[in-house]
Amino acid sequence: MSESLQNKILFTQVVALLQNARQQVLRTVNSTMVYTYFEIGRMIVEEEQNGKERAEYGKQILKGLSTYLTKEFGKGFSMRNLEQIRKFYKTYSNSSSLSTILQNQIPQTVSAELKNQIPQSVTAEFNNAYFELFRSYFKLTWSHYTFLMRIDNEQERCFYEIESEKYNWSVRELKRQYDSALYTRLPLSRDKEGILKLSTAGQIIEKPKDLIKDPYILEFLGLPELHHYSESDLEEEIINKLESFLLELGHGFTFVARQDRITFDDKHFRIDLVFYNRVLRCFVLIDLKIGELKHQDLGQMQMYVNYYDREKRLEGENKTIGIVLCQNKSDLVVEYTLPENNEQIFASKYKTILPSKEDLIKLIS
């Protein structure tokens, strides 16, 4: 190995080490700050509940504390921010997942009373364990939590919290996923057992159906809902915004090809988009349709899937999945065109604007 190549490898390794160290420091600083805000919120709430009956007492505490902290530390402690900190404590001190962790992991030396509820004070006896436990629980940034606190449904909030941490969502991506109602669009969100899984483990992909959303929200394409565009226009915009489209598709997708040509009996066919899902270890074929879904569209996708299974699939890979994305569909057409035990062909609507919550409920009902 040449000396220059050895130096390059060394330099790359040192850079990677420093970048990792910086990330670790940032994570530590962030979790410490979030934990500190939780404790400040606890102190504020405890003082407010200290037998004071006047409604204005809480506002007086926040106003006085805001003035004092601003004098000591400068910006960042307005009454609005302190109200957020108080809300953060109230929201997460009532969290069932945090309560479970506290009951299971606080050291045995802590009294039974403290193991069965959020501690009302932090004593020297378990301060370090308490601190580390909370730091390990709060893994996101304060900006993430200020957004998550707006979600009233605890199970839905837990889902977005898990997904944000698991897939390193930025606050912007978290907002986008929430605004597009990802939780509501997943099949598991429609039954009690599925809701529990989503709120404790996030989205788990075990079978083809777990990948599918209905509808897919493609507002990032910038195509007006009533705008007249062709299937090729839609495909072109998806390719131009491929990173956003991959995020909308979900976990484990990699792009393989567009307009993939397959030929047999001197006839040529083109599959609009080809992806591979690393979680299920299978190809995912997507055809784009403008307007109403026809049974011929599903038949054509079945042909594509069969071809990939027989000609492209490698040993050890799972069966190919086909998704027809359409503007409108009849569930009965889908039901009677596809076999009863179908686990490979799916039809989903797509929307090029963010629907309102009311419209989304109509779409999935």
pTM: 0.77
User: What end-to-end distance do the CA atoms of the chain give, in Å?
Assistant: 63
pLDDT band at 114 (very low <50, low <70, confident <90, very high): very low
Give the other-Cβ count within 10 Å of 210's Cβ: 17
Question: How far, in Å, CA of 34 to CA of 149, rounded?
Answer: 13
Read off the pLDDT of residues 128-152 as tens digits, 9 standing for 90 and up: 666 666 766 788 999 999 999 999 9
pLDDT band at 100 (very low <50, low <70, confident <90, very high): low
CA distances from 266 to 198, 263, 269, 273 (A): 48, 6, 10, 22
- Decide which of 54 and 229 is more confident: 229
DSSP β-ladder status, 267-277 and 282-292: antiparallel
- Decide which of 310 and 121 is more confident: 310
Read off the pLDDT of residues 207-240 as tens digits, 9 standing for 90 and up: 999 889 989 999 999 887 656 788 999 999 999 9
pLDDT score for 321:
97
Give yes or no for residue 122 having a pLDDT over 50. no
Helix (H), strand (E) at residue 280: none
- Decide which of 104 and 56 is more confident: 56
Mean pLDDT of all residues belonging to the chain: 84
87 is written with which tokens? Answer: 């809300």
pLDDT score for 104:
56
What is the total residue count of the chain? 365
Give the phi and the psi of residue 92 in degrees, each rounded to 5: -90, -20
pLDDT band at 55 (very low <50, low <70, confident <90, very high): low
Give yes or no for residue 113 having a pLDDT over 80. no
Give yes or no for residue 109 having a pLDDT over 60. no
Give yes or no for residue 115 having a pLDDT over 50. no
pLDDT score for 125:
44
